[in-house]
Structure 1
């Protein structure tokens, strides 16, 4: 076997590549989102026509060429960590899935999909590390599951510009009930991917920074109530996504039988919402949330609800795109709405609601806490953030029994016998969340 230090150095090179690709992918996705906003402001009717046209085209590309690239990307990585079979890994983390996520995600964001880039970045990172595991010398030292967990977490670290958030995501979400071999080397790989993003993009937070503070002693009832409500909102939000991809539900059955018509219908719903509520329906909600946090700009009272419906509709269409950053935007919008009801300071409740909704959906309170903590310039919110993330997670479990990503991973239907023995997947098959078998 080749020198151990040389093999680990190669893993580090792959992690640097994950960071570089994450930065490039972020630029592509952000440019696509900005282009859509400009198109809506200058040629609104053209922008409204794009979702019903682009969604079925994107889904066709997923089902015929870029197998495994539909949906968020995190469930695909989780599915393979649970069952690291060669054919399954080829389908969900192979070159076609990798290229599909890289190319189609900005395509649908440019069309107005309420989708983020963080989930797709996880699949891209996991796919790169899975490819590294194909080299015999690397495979002797690192098992495939550990490489995929490290690659996905490196994607989070680079996407959110937070190496610590990537580490937490590795243990809480991707590595749940699993162990990694040569942990220290793989953890360093996750950190390196995040450092690449820090070097290339500077020390910035995805949603900006806030010096918001809250009096924990005086506002404890408001904070407790917010924790309960965000757990309910996050649980219902995750439950609605799960219902729409389940073939046992009425809408899920329509989605299975008529995938392209359903995708076009989702595009129509999204366009009608944009016609009524404006451009804030499109995209992940990044610009609106950042402006409200940093510049104290007002959000529509219905922003959280319209963004939640738009995200669920975009996700149900089956096109590539994540729900991570839209979930944070939903939380920010709900916190803004709740602040208006309680006459409390807006910014701290936005941050607390962000961690609450994200924790409720992912059941990863520590990861949610770390990601939101990166946006805070003081330590007064540390205890409230921890409190809300813990309470909302427990409340959500009454509605959403597990992390939405693990539940969605269970919805990915791939026959292991077929995965191992089939010489070549049929053009109409897909192992993304759009699998109809």
Structure 2
């Protein structure tokens, strides 16, 4: 028979452990620092892309020199000095969380050095006009800050490197999207799969605190404003299914294409990329500049402005926008530069929703765009809960909870028939050499 808890006794027990409260304060202070790093990253990213847009509008021809040259420089710096900073950043955090990874190798994927490199190189990618986002990199940025807290904690504190990395990665999502709930779900669905009960409260508090830092800086505003959701009846079922299934197939193909490109498929182009990575990056930058010029600049950058305009009904979508944004994002990732695919994926999904709305008519275009965003992001990441909550919080779409959830779940299911999980597969590819080396060492036998 369970006894009723003694409040005063439990309170005295909690307050008597000064070291425990000091460690909790340290973790929460690092959570605030992680949020500030992401806020600084956001401001720098916006500033650098603004400079690119000014250059493009003043001298459109200059991108054919500027984008390839800067892309090549970023690729060289990344490979030469910061190999762990390449790509999205989410696979690196998942690799650092792999229990099979030797502890001494964790710094290859997450560290304060990589945090600073990620901020600088990703911002430089936006200065080049590459099709990247800052949200995925924010996961690695915040995780690098949070893991630094471990040096101030006791071994028996209950907060190990795993817990700090989960808190940091999720805090990055919360601060980047101004969506603390999405950060908590991301921690459970994509990073940890489960949270230990003795540290879950502190981890969730750290995630929310980092999100609040972003809210206090940018205001309690939805990322894409508030959409006007019309009444969704049975007439919306067919357009919604078309958007969802299209995004599921496209997102699965996108993830499969990225996996083949980034893990070294045996085709001739991949072999050339492996031999001359900087030249390949320059050629990729030239192709991205050409695609951006053909679309009147619509495919440059993350695509957030295009999504805002589509939701407001003010965006005249260029022909083949979805295809060309798809290609620009894939080429950017293939170049090996630091940068995420969250925001470009939202832009591609929004474009699919916009196209279906134009083709099938009706007055539900905003709803179809939001469903496309959730569906394509869920298909690429195969993390449907995180995807639909991110979109719901970004557009203040609480009236569309069931529609967004259904679109994300179905698109993720379709994607699983086409591709392996993107982030998990990339993380496994990154850790494979370290695990193999550990297994070959005499100490392992």
Contact kept? 2:222, 2:396, Cα under 8 Å: no
Cα gap change, 1:419 to 1:45, in 2 (>3 Å)? farther
Match of 1:166 in 2: 183
Query: Is the aligned partner of 1:350 residue 2:350?
Result: no
Match of 1:62 in 2: 78
Q: 2:236 aligns with which of 205, 219, 222?
A: 219
Match of 2:358 in 1: 340
Contact kept? 1:301, 1:336, Cα under 8 Å: no
Match of 1:140 in 2: 157
Rounded to whole Å, the distance in 1 between the matches of 2:310 and 2:155 is 47
Rounded to whole Å, the distance in 2 between the matches of 1:254 and 1:34 is 33
Match of 2:6 in 1: none
Contact kept? 2:222, 2:395, Cα under 8 Å: no
Q: Any idea what the Cα deviations from partners look like across 1:27-59, whole Å, max 9, x if unmatched?
A: 000111111112111111222312211112111
Q: Any idea what the Cα deviations from partners look like across 1:231-257, whole Å, max 9, x if unmatched?
A: 001101111111111223313322222
TM-score (norm 1): 0.91
Query: Is the aligned partner of 1:46 residue 2:65?
Result: no
Instruction: Show the 5 A alignment for 1:135-214.
Output: 135-137=152-154, 140-176=157-193, 179=196, 182-214=199-231
Please report how far the alpha carbon of residue 405 of structure 1 lies from its aligned counterpart in structure 2 after TM superposition.
Answer: 1.2
Rounded to whole Å, the distance in 2 between the matches of 1:48 and 1:186 is 46
Please report how far the alpha carbon of residue 95 of structure 1 lies from its aligned counterpart in structure 2 after TM superposition.
Answer: 3.2
Match of 2:274 in 1: 256
TM-score (norm 2): 0.90
Rounded to whole Å, the distance in 2 between the matches of 1:255 and 1:228 is 33
Structure 2 residue matching 1:298: 3-state secondary structure: coil
Match of 1:384 in 2: 403
Match of 1:243 in 2: 260
Cα gap change, 1:95 to 1:381, in 2 (>3 Å)? closer
Rounded to whole Å, the distance in 2 between the matches of 1:16 and 1:299 is 39
Q: Any idea what the Cα deviations from partners look like across 1:75-101, whole Å, max 9, x if unmatched?
A: 000011114533321111123322210
Please report how far the alpha carbon of residue 224 of structure 1 lies from its aligned counterpart in structure 2 after TM superposition.
Answer: 2.0
Rounded to whole Å, the distance in 2 between the matches of 1:155 and 1:55 is 25
Match of 2:331 in 1: 313
> Of the two, which has the highest radius of gyration?
2
Contact kept? 2:223, 2:395, Cα under 8 Å: no
Rounded to whole Å, the distance in 1 between the matches of 2:103 and 2:326 is 36
Structure 2 residue matching 1:394: 3-state secondary structure: helix
Contact kept? 1:126, 1:147, Cα under 8 Å: yes
Rounded to whole Å, the distance in 1 between the matches of 2:231 and 2:372 is 13
Cα gap change, 1:399 to 1:417, in 2 (>3 Å)? closer
Match of 1:412 in 2: 430
Rounded to whole Å, the distance in 2 between the matches of 1:155 and 1:67 is 21
Contact kept? 2:131, 2:332, Cα under 8 Å: yes
Rounded to whole Å, the distance in 2 between the matches of 1:222 and 1:62 is 43
When the two structures are aligned, how many residues end up with a matched partner?
420
Cα gap change, 1:10 to 1:263, in 2 (>3 Å)? same
Q: 2:37 aligns with which of 21, 31, 46?
A: 21
Please report how far the alpha carbon of residue 213 of structure 1 lies from its aligned counterpart in structure 2 after TM superposition.
Answer: 2.8
Contact kept? 2:239, 2:357, Cα under 8 Å: no
Rounded to whole Å, the distance in 2 between the matches of 1:109 and 1:180 is 40
More off after superposition, 389-398 vs 251-260: 251-260
Q: Any idea what the Cα deviations from partners look like across 1:164-189, whole Å, max 9, x if unmatched?
A: 01001101111136757511111110
Between structures 1 and 2, the one with greater helix share: 2
Q: Unpaired segments of 5 or more residues in structure 1?
A: 422-437
Cα gap change, 1:379 to 1:164, in 2 (>3 Å)? closer
Please report how far the alpha carbon of residue 136 of structure 1 lies from its aligned counterpart in structure 2 after TM superposition.
Answer: 4.1
More off after superposition, 58-67 vs 109-118: 58-67
Contact kept? 2:67, 2:128, Cα under 8 Å: yes
Cα gap change, 1:96 to 1:234, in 2 (>3 Å)? same
Match of 2:8 in 1: none
Task: Tell me the C-alpha RMSD between the 2 structures.
Answer: 2.0
Q: Any idea what the Cα deviations from partners look like across 1:334-387, whole Å, max 9, x if unmatched?
A: 111111111132211100000000111111111111111114446442211111
Cα gap change, 1:49 to 1:374, in 2 (>3 Å)? same
Contact kept? 1:209, 1:293, Cα under 8 Å: no
Q: 1:74 aligns with which of 79, 84, 90?
A: 90
Contact kept? 2:239, 2:356, Cα under 8 Å: no
Q: Unpaired segments of 5 or more residues in structure 2?
A: 1-16, 440-445
Q: 2:317 aligns with which of 289, 299, 319?
A: 299
Query: Is the aligned partner of 1:361 residue 2:380?
Result: yes
